């Protein structure tokens, strides 16, 4: 019997960033089996759309008590030891005094003791996804810098030791994760490039512990469907070049064209993922529009620099019907640009 061979992969791959809108039936009757079934659906929808590297949808991280950020922060902080999640008035007042975090009304938790693993168990989450993934997939986690900035610290006394303590815990979770790619998500540093050295050190600590392909996602925030960080990619070039990643996953569909030119100065050894789908608006991009965005990016950056195209951020804030059509447009636009059937 003639051995089947896989068709060659396109030179630009499609991927998603992480989250997917939580199905209503999962919210109505949540259970472990329902999460598994819903995750199977999310993978299936992405593979049917033609996404090359899908994500698990992060459905198990959703928290209805955090409608602006979907619970992605609290999923980690509530499980780590040393962090109190029950909050009183004084905790709220102290956190509100942190003007840099004005977009959040309360902390994700209060750090009272050295941070430990607690009940955090990412390998079980990844194994659950692997059982229904149906092929290669990407697993995500929130960066230690981003987590640290959402906490009220009453133990370490400074942002640096707190951030690095979180990085230590997350790094120990990386070995053995059964996935093709691991992506670290960071949505705060684009607005605070002065903290670049600390953020880079903490993220690299995690990247060095990853045993598969390493990605880092950066955006300017998606809090309540709105951008919350001001800045530009030009101010972040030195920071990006310090990261020991295989590729970046960057918000660009929602950004000015000038941001593309700034990425020319990034380390050519690090592949670029370009956001070509805007998740902050409901209108669905046409394949022509997606193809034009890819063409514009390659004209600025040169052929060979772009490894992935994707949405700017996760899809959890849009309707499922919108997310599904945007994924289809992403693949169709990539195919149109590359001349694929």
Residue of 200, 98, 79 whose CA lies nearest to 153: 98
Candidate from 56-65, 67-76, 219-228, 239-248 with smallest mean pLDDT:
219-228
195, 141 contact by CB (below 8 A): no
* Domains detected in the chain: 13-338 (3.20.20.210)
Q: What is the pLDDT of residue 201?
A: 97
- pLDDT at 1 > cutoff 50: no
How far, in whole angstroms, is CA 115 from its chain's centroid? 23
Residue of 278, 317, 307 whose CA lies nearest to 14: 307
- pLDDT at 320 > cutoff 50: yes
Q: What is the pLDDT of residue 8?
A: 80
Mean pLDDT of 186-198: 86
Q: What is the pLDDT of residue 68?
A: 58
Residue of 223, 160, 219, 153 whose CA lies nearest to 188: 219
**Confidence label for 288 from pLDDT (cuts 50, 70 and 90):** very high
Hey, what are 239's tokens?
A: 């920071």
Strands (DSSP E) found in the chain = 13-14, 81-84, 110-116, 138-142, 152-153, 181-186, 213-218, 247-250, 271-277, 306-311
- Is pTM beyond 0.85 here? yes
Candidate from 24-38, 104-118, 168-182, 214-228 with smallest mean pLDDT:
214-228
How far is the C-alpha of 228 from the C-alpha of 263, rounded, in Å?
A: 21
């Amino acid at each position: 019997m003639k051995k089947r061979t896989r068709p060659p992969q396109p030179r630009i791959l499609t991927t998603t960033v992480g989250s997917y809108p939580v199905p209503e039936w999962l919210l109505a009757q949540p259970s472990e089996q329902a999460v598994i079934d819903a995750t199977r659906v999310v993978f299936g929808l992405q593979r049917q759309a033609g996404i090359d590297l899908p994500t698990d949808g992060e459905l198990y991280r959703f928290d209805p008590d955090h409608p602006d950020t979907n619970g992605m922060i609290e999923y980690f902080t509530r499980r780590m030891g040393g962090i109190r999640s029950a909050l009183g008035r004084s905790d709220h007042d102290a956190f509100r005094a942190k003007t840099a975090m004005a977009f959040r009304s309360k902390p994700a938790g209060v750090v009272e003791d050295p941070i430990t693993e607690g009940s955090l168990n990412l390998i079980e989450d990844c194994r659950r996804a692997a059982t229904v993934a149906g092929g290669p997939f990407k697993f995500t986690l929130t960066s230690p810098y981003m987590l640290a900035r959402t906490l009220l610290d009453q133990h370490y006394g400074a942002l640096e030791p707190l951030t690095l303590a979180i990085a230590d815990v997350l790094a120990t979770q990386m070995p053995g994760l059964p996935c093709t790619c691991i992506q670290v998500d960071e949505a705060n540093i684009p607005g605070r490039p002065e903290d670049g050295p600390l953020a880079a050190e903490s993220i690299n600590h995690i990247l060095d512990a990853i045993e598969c392909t390493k990605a880092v996602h950066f955006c300017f925030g998606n809090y309540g469907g709105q951008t919350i960080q001001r800045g530009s990619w030009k101010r972040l070039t030195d920071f990006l070049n310090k990261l020991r990643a295989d590729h970046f996953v960057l918000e660009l569909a929602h950004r000015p064209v000038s941001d593309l030119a700034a990425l020319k100065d990034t380390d050519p050894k690090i592949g670029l993922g370009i956001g070509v789908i805007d998740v902050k608006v409901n209108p669905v991009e046409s394949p022509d529009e997606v193809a034009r965005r890819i063409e514009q990016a390659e004209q600025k950056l040169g052929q060979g620099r772009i490894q992935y195209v994707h949405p700017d951020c996760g899809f959890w804030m849009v309707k499922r019907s919108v997310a599904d059509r945007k994924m289809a447009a992403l693949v169709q636009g990539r195919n149109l640009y590359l001349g694929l059937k």
